[in-house]
Structure 1
Amino acid sequence: MMQAMNIRIKTLSPVILSALGHASVMTATHDFFSGSVLRGILAARFIEKQKLDKMAHTDADFMRLFYGDLRFVDAYPVDPETGARAIVLPFSVQRSKDEREIRDLLQKGTELAPGFKGMKGFAAAADGVLRPVKVRKNITLHMSRTDLKDDSGMERLAGKSRSSGIYNYESIAAGQRFEGVIYGAAELLAQLRDVLGTQFTCYAGRSKYTQYGQCEVTLTQPQDIPEEDAPQGERLCIRLETPLLPRTGIPGDAASMLAEIVTALNEKTSGGFSLFEEPRSIFAKEAEIDNFVGQWCMKRPRETGLAAGTVFALEKAGGWQDGDAEALRTVLYEGVGRRRAEGFGQLRLWDGRDIRRAEKMERNDVKPRELGAEAKKIAAAILTAHIVEQIRVFASMDVETELIPSGARHALSRLEQELGTRSDGAISRMQEFAASMQGKKTPLGKMMTGIRVNGISLLAYFHEKNIADMPYFLRGKELLRSEVGDIADELGIAHGIEGILREDQVFYAYWNAFFRFARKQAGRSEEGGTEA
């Protein structure tokens, strides 16, 4: 009989689970532990405990547990309020602008309405109530070290990179909890838990042997899979719990990729399943699956599938027969498609009728103590310092993606000098300087016109544009609102995150970092790696 064993993960340090990114200086992270990662963590622990070293593939127990019938299903974030494991929000779910109303477009009779937009991310779902769950992340700037090869230590002593090499890591912040599930036969789950133990510490993800990747793993007692109400009627809605990698189908054609699920259901049950042929019966997105295998020290070939959160409606003709409900349950938890042992192709029933957003809960019904003026001042300073660090990362990314004109090093040094050494009054100083350069055909004036960020010249940024037009403003507003927006509101900061982004010190942080990084890049191109 199939049972479920929860695997709970607590991040003890920041964790980098590398994801596809669009900037060469930024390593992005997933915000969950995939089934592939979970299987890798547990397989490494098994090899260590059983002392298999490099001969694990010859061990029958190892192959049966990790390449057999067990299903290692993604560890999604845990709702800190309720302790419930979150799900990927279905792509059919929308919310109103004021977030008071939620509707599911997959349900019959639900029409498109103005003022509603799609929801994304994670949410804990129970009894029709959705509680959005966010994953806290950090972005950290690092410097590459070329002196490690010659063992000179020159860069370490100087505190900077001679080759101007910089990069950024996005990471899942420490102190967060995630929960995955392992499905399989009771005896296999018991054997796995007996060998691995109930709790241990591991390292996962990128740079796991430096300052990243430490996690605490807990395996719960295997339990029977909770019973669900038997499906009724001719219409059935299914949600992809994890991405689907079909054996057949045309990439970009969701219906053809979902056909494998319909086939599996018809083979295991009395049949009669087909995709519902009606408007808005499929809500799907493609997913690019890209894995790095540590043992191979290389990436797996990139594959295209359907993303978790895909939902679709099925039609059941001929009524439900005895055994159909159990057979459906088996298909849902055994999964469909390829790489099922890694958790791909997990399916769940979905009922989006009468869904609603949960109200914010009072923890233990005790209101937090009101912060004093001095405490608020200190907290606001810490928050602003965090935002400034994120803005500096934006500057380094922009330098990497923009083409800095040849010979720009002197102009960038002059602009850095005009910006000054203090943030107070930085906006007005640069506006006044840009006004004085207007119309001048000096080398500096030409460079201010030639150096561009997002297609806009430096002269235009400082002379014509508002603060809301700065290259960091919209990105910072979108990223930081989800990360620390509530904190800014609680501290009573005027206009919240947007108010901080309008401050001189944020303006100064971006342009000071941009001038410095761009000057180094210009020096590297002009002198073959020599820093200005």
Structure 2
Amino acid sequence: MQMMKVRIRTKAPMILSAPGHTSVMTATQDSFSGSVLRGIFAARFIKAAALGNAAHENDDFMRLFYGGLRFVNAYLVEPLTQTRAIPLPLSVQRSKDGSSICDLMYGEAPRDGGFKSMRGFAAVCDKGLHPVAVQKEIRLHISRSDLNGGSGKERLAGRSMDGGIYNYEAIAQGQSFEGLICGAEEELRLLCGTIGTETFSCCAGRSKYTQYGQCEITVMPAEDILPPPIPTEERFCLRCETPFLPHRAVPGDARSMLDEVVDALNAGTDGGFLLAEEQRSIYAQAEDIDNFVGVWGMRRPRETALSAGTVFAVRKTGGWQPCDMEAVNAILCSGVGRRTEEGFGQLRIWDGRGLCCIAQDPPTPEARELCTESRRIAEQIILAHIIEQIRVLAAEDAGRARRTFPPNASHAFARLDSALGIRPQGACERIRQIVLDTKKEMPLGKMLENVRVEGRPLRSYLGEIIHEEMPYAARERQNVTADQDLIDAGKEIGVWGGTAALLKQEEVFYAYWHTFFRFARKTAGKPEKGGESA
């Protein structure tokens, strides 16, 4: 069996809907599932082979995508080592000071060490774990409640009639993920021969035909899957690389679900495998699998799986034979259970002994001095985080100020938004000038006096621009100005002297008022449904 590594680079925010999101917040997953990866390559194959709507009649297509290949989840790539991360086994714990790591599958954590569970993803490098986190962002949108079966007036008007809003959580652009395609050599050769080996672009996920979902796909050359060394002990551990869906079991009962893994190992070898019976032999967690199939235009039935990161102990009786390890590795990479072509049921051998944190030497004074380009990138990352929070505050403020809006304020808000322009540079001066040129008795002037934000009229904010007195700075909101982690990060890299300095950036001013005017324009003149007074 061979495998090809697949690199995915996000070129735009990516929405991979996660189960259980609310009606006003669409959550996203932390990785590209095998189902998404399979869909990307199936679409590419259909286009390259000109199959159109008759792909199901093509033998090669059915052979590759309905049994021959395994499309394994694409997880985040750790930037420094360029190593693909894995879901952390549920048995791994770390001391609170981060200095040491232990695996409960191989012994108890020291009682006086203050250990706690590790969750998420980490890159494994020479027995060291380097935790990684997917960068995400939240974007605000105006809802269209009459889109399905309604009059469609909201779509034509470009605004919501009742002022409803919702949010998309998305994977931020500029991140790399790595997945696998496993299969026989001839099948991988057939896939590459049809779709080519050059890098290609595609769209994936939700809202992929608007501002989301653009990514770049790079396929690495195929290589043999080498089995790990033969264990020297009777007991060894397996971890779920991807969620596991058994053919038959009591949903949520880990032991009955994992019996199917043992059955698969015994069927593919000379036997002798069984689940370990000791007290600490299974660390498992159930999760719901909920997929939307675009071709069907509907969701699959929700199913219960053992989540990635589940780890359990297996015993091999009768000793290890030379061919056992190769057979076991082939079974694990082929997948166990159902929907293995989508990457479900991928398992890997896990040895959690001797784990440690990645040692990092304290930076020297010279290392602390960032080059100009590094400083610029770091500053933009911090600023982008703050701007996302500012936009949320602006929408909330516009909602609270709504009862002070004049009946025909929509045009006035559109005019102010237009004065801001399409880019932040010079926005302060442009908006200040139009406010100074507007007399109080004019319709726009009356609105500037009557509309109040945090008890102050708009003119007092925009006539003489004082960044320290803007609504987002004066209130010192918890999620903006009291984010101590963000403050510490800025100070550590030396690009930010504190929250007050950052909030003076013209990009922050532009983001707040552009969102405020846009949201106010869409809700002006609509009946108030209740809420706080301004």
Q: TM-score range by the shorter chain?
A: 0.7 to 0.9
1:489 aligned onto 2:480: no
Secondary structure, aligned partner of 1:19 = coil
1:112-127 to 2 correspondence within 5 Å? Answer: 114-127=113-126
- How far the C-alpha of 1:137 sits from its partner, in A, is 1.5
Whichever residue aligns with residue 105 of structure 1, its letter is L
Q: Which residue pairs with 2:291 in the alignment?
A: 291
Q: Which residue pairs with 1:174 in the alignment?
A: 173
Q: Partners of 2:488 and 2:170 in 1: how far apart?
A: 19
Larger deviation: 132-141 or 338-347? 132-141
Q: Which residue pairs with 2:228 in the alignment?
A: 228
Q: Partners of 2:279 and 2:452 in 1: how far apart?
A: 57
1:104 aligned onto 2:103: yes
1:228-307 to 2 correspondence within 5 Å? Answer: 228-307=228-307
Give the total of aligned pairs.
Answer: 468
**8 A Cα contact 2:121 2:131, kept in partner:** yes
The alpha-carbon distance between structure 1 residues 368 and 190, as it changes in their structure 2 partners (threshold 3 A), is farther
Provide structure 2 residue ranges, at least 5 long, that are not aligned to the other structure: 406-449, 462-466
- How far the C-alpha of 1:13 sits from its partner, in A, is 1.6
The alpha-carbon distance between structure 1 residues 105 and 382, as it changes in their structure 2 partners (threshold 3 A), is closer
Q: Which residue pairs with 1:328 in the alignment?
A: 328
Q: Partners of 2:315 and 2:501 in 1: how far apart?
A: 52
Q: Deviations over 1:193-216 (max 9, x none)?
A: 110111211111111111211111
1:418 aligned onto 2:452: no
Secondary structure, aligned partner of 2:89 = coil
CA root-mean-square deviation: 4.3
Q: Deviations over 1:85-106 (max 9, x none)?
A: 1111111111112211111111
Secondary structure, aligned partner of 1:367 = helix
The alpha-carbon distance between structure 1 residues 370 and 186, as it changes in their structure 2 partners (threshold 3 A), is closer
Q: Deviations over 1:343-391 (max 9, x none)?
A: 000000001101111134899x98364479xx98997697356325326
Q: Which residue pairs with 2:162 in the alignment?
A: 163
1:307-456 to 2 correspondence within 5 Å? Answer: 307-360=307-360, 367=367, 369-370=369-370, 383=382, 386-390=385-389, 392-393=391-392, 409=403, 416-418=453-455, 421=458, 422=461, 424=468
- How far the C-alpha of 1:134 sits from its partner, in A, is 2.2
Q: Partners of 2:128 and 2:187 in 1: how far apart?
A: 34
- How far the C-alpha of 1:41 sits from its partner, in A, is 0.4
- How far the C-alpha of 1:142 sits from its partner, in A, is 1.9
Whichever residue aligns with residue 455 of structure 2, its letter is E
Whichever residue aligns with residue 37 of structure 1, its letter is V
- How far the C-alpha of 1:56 sits from its partner, in A, is 0.6
**8 A Cα contact 1:94 1:105, kept in partner:** yes
The alpha-carbon distance between structure 1 residues 520 and 65, as it changes in their structure 2 partners (threshold 3 A), is same
**8 A Cα contact 2:390 2:472, kept in partner:** no
Q: Partners of 1:334 and 1:48 in 2: how far apart?
A: 27
**8 A Cα contact 1:25 1:397, kept in partner:** no
Provide structure 1 residue ranges, at least 5 long, that are not aligned to the other structure: 432-466
Secondary structure, aligned partner of 1:67 = helix
Secondary structure, aligned partner of 2:79 = coil
- How far the C-alpha of 1:163 sits from its partner, in A, is 2.9
**8 A Cα contact 1:23 1:397, kept in partner:** no
Q: Deviations over 1:424-472 (max 9, x none)?
A: 46899999xxxxxxxxxxxxxxxxxxxxxxxxxxxxxxxxxxx79x6x5
Q: Which residue pairs with 2:89 in the alignment?
A: 90
Q: Partners of 1:141 and 1:367 in 2: how far apart?
A: 39
Q: Partners of 2:115 and 2:257 in 1: how far apart?
A: 28
Q: Which residue pairs with 1:36 in the alignment?
A: 35
TM-score if structure 1 supplies the norm length? 0.75
1:115-154 to 2 correspondence within 5 Å? Answer: 115-144=114-143
Secondary structure, aligned partner of 1:29 = coil
Q: Partners of 1:203 and 1:309 in 2: how far apart?
A: 28
- How far the C-alpha of 1:232 sits from its partner, in A, is 2.2
Q: Which residue pairs with 1:56 in the alignment?
A: 55
Larger deviation: 340-349 or 280-289? 280-289
- How far the C-alpha of 1:242 sits from its partner, in A, is 0.4
Q: Partners of 2:500 and 2:277 in 1: how far apart?
A: 46
Larger deviation: 236-245 or 146-155? 146-155
The alpha-carbon distance between structure 1 residues 33 and 4, as it changes in their structure 2 partners (threshold 3 A), is same
Secondary structure, aligned partner of 2:56 = helix
Q: Which residue pairs with 2:412 in the alignment?
A: none
The alpha-carbon distance between structure 1 residues 430 and 133, as it changes in their structure 2 partners (threshold 3 A), is closer
**8 A Cα contact 2:286 2:304, kept in partner:** yes
Secondary structure, aligned partner of 1:336 = coil
- How far the C-alpha of 1:416 sits from its partner, in A, is 3.8
The alpha-carbon distance between structure 1 residues 488 and 63, as it changes in their structure 2 partners (threshold 3 A), is farther
- How far the C-alpha of 1:21 sits from its partner, in A, is 4.2
Whichever residue aligns with residue 245 of structure 2, its letter is L
Larger deviation: 353-362 or 251-260? 353-362
Secondary structure, aligned partner of 2:455 = helix
- How far the C-alpha of 1:113 sits from its partner, in A, is 5.0
Q: Which residue pairs with 1:441 in the alignment?
A: none
**8 A Cα contact 1:32 1:77, kept in partner:** yes
Q: Partners of 2:135 and 2:194 in 1: how far apart?
A: 33
Q: Partners of 1:62 and 1:301 in 2: how far apart?
A: 25
The alpha-carbon distance between structure 1 residues 428 and 58, as it changes in their structure 2 partners (threshold 3 A), is closer
Q: Which residue pairs with 2:447 in the alignment?
A: none
Q: Partners of 2:130 and 2:327 in 1: how far apart?
A: 31
Q: Which residue pairs with 2:445 in the alignment?
A: none
Q: Deviations over 1:310-353 (max 9, x none)?
A: 11111222222342222211211111110000000000000110
The alpha-carbon distance between structure 1 residues 286 and 113, as it changes in their structure 2 partners (threshold 3 A), is farther
**8 A Cα contact 2:378 2:495, kept in partner:** no
